[in-house]
Amino acid sequence: MTYKLHCFGESGHSYKVALALSLSGVAWQPIKVDFFGGETRSPAYRTEVNEMGEAPVLEHGDVKLTQSGVILDYLSEQTGKFGGATSQERRDILRWVLWDNHKLSSLAGMARFLMNFIPKEKQPTEAIAFLQGRLNASYQILDKHLDTREWIACDQLTNADLSCCGYLYYPEPFGFQRADWPNIDAWLTRLSQQDGWKPPYDLMPGNPSEREL
């Protein structure tokens, strides 16, 4: 049964799920969400797709799921991959997924959006500087954690890695330079060497080049 993923290329949270699907080797179909055209704010989307007005949304038979962390956990149940082998491993994966959602992806997504997807004259410079300061603290935590290990939560690639990498492969500037964080850089390189890995705009429909910014 083919997985259907409502997503768009610019969405780092969607990328986490698209990457998990690709690395798992399962059949899946991306369904483009016209975020920049206002689709997620429409009554139809909020009634028929996701009441929260967000992407990604995964459909699998009668199952419909939202929130990337929940979707990653479901995919692990279905495929047996990336979810951890023991209760302790699963809890540690969840710990990092929650940390990422609160301290990394949410901040990176907002900083990237403000710096790249709204007119320059409307960019709130103080807010961007604040977000970058918070992100710098998160990069320090992650880089130190990866100093003596190859993967975030276990001895192999897991949902912790797929969640935390969500925004770090995007080409748009938002204050993250891989060269400044050697352990994060090495980790991202390892991840990109996995069979099935692709960058965001190669996995999902939608690209800033397709519209006038």
Q: At what angle do helices 182-192 and 125-145 cross, to 10 degrees?
A: 80
Mean pLDDT across 96-122? 97
Which sign, positive or negative, has the C-alpha torsion 99, 199, 23, 192?
Answer: negative
Band of residue 210 on the pLDDT scale cut at 50, 70, 90: confident
Q: What is the mean pLDDT of the chain?
A: 97
The correct CATH number of 3-82+198-210 out of 3.30.1330.20, 3.30.420.40, 3.40.30.10, 3.40.50.300 is 3.40.30.10
Mean pLDDT across 72-81? 98
pTM score, whole prediction:
0.96
- The domain limits of the chain are 3-82+198-210, 87-192
Spatial distance between the Cα atoms of 40 and 92, rounded to a whole number of angstroms: 32
Q: At what angle do helices 68-79 and 12-24 cross, to 10 degrees?
A: 10
Q: What is the pLDDT of residue 211?
A: 73
Band of residue 158 on the pLDDT scale cut at 50, 70, 90: very high
Question: What does each C-alpha distance from 56 to 6, 69, 112, 125, 172 come to in angstroms?
Answer: 5, 10, 18, 28, 20
Spatial distance between the Cα atoms of 171 and 194, rounded to a whole number of angstroms: 20
The tokens of 165 are what? Answer: 């990498």
Q: What is the pLDDT of residue 2?
A: 95
Residue 64: is its pLDDT beyond 80?
Answer: yes
Residue 174: is its pLDDT beyond 90?
Answer: yes
Which sign, positive or negative, has the C-alpha torsion 34, 6, 42, 165?
Answer: negative
Band of residue 1 on the pLDDT scale cut at 50, 70, 90: confident
Spatial distance between the Cα atoms of 198 and 9, rounded to a whole number of angstroms: 12
Residue 161: is its pLDDT beyond 80?
Answer: yes
Identify which has the larger pLDDT, 170 or 210.
Answer: 170
Spatial distance between the Cα atoms of 56 and 19, rounded to a whole number of angstroms: 12
Question: What does each C-alpha distance from 38 to 9, 11, 42 come to in angstroms?
Answer: 15, 14, 7
Q: What is the pLDDT of residue 212?
A: 63
Q: What is the pLDDT of residue 95?
A: 98
State in words which class domain 87-192 has. Answer: mainly alpha
Residue 213: is its pLDDT beyond 60?
Answer: no
Same fold? 3-82+198-210, 87-192? no
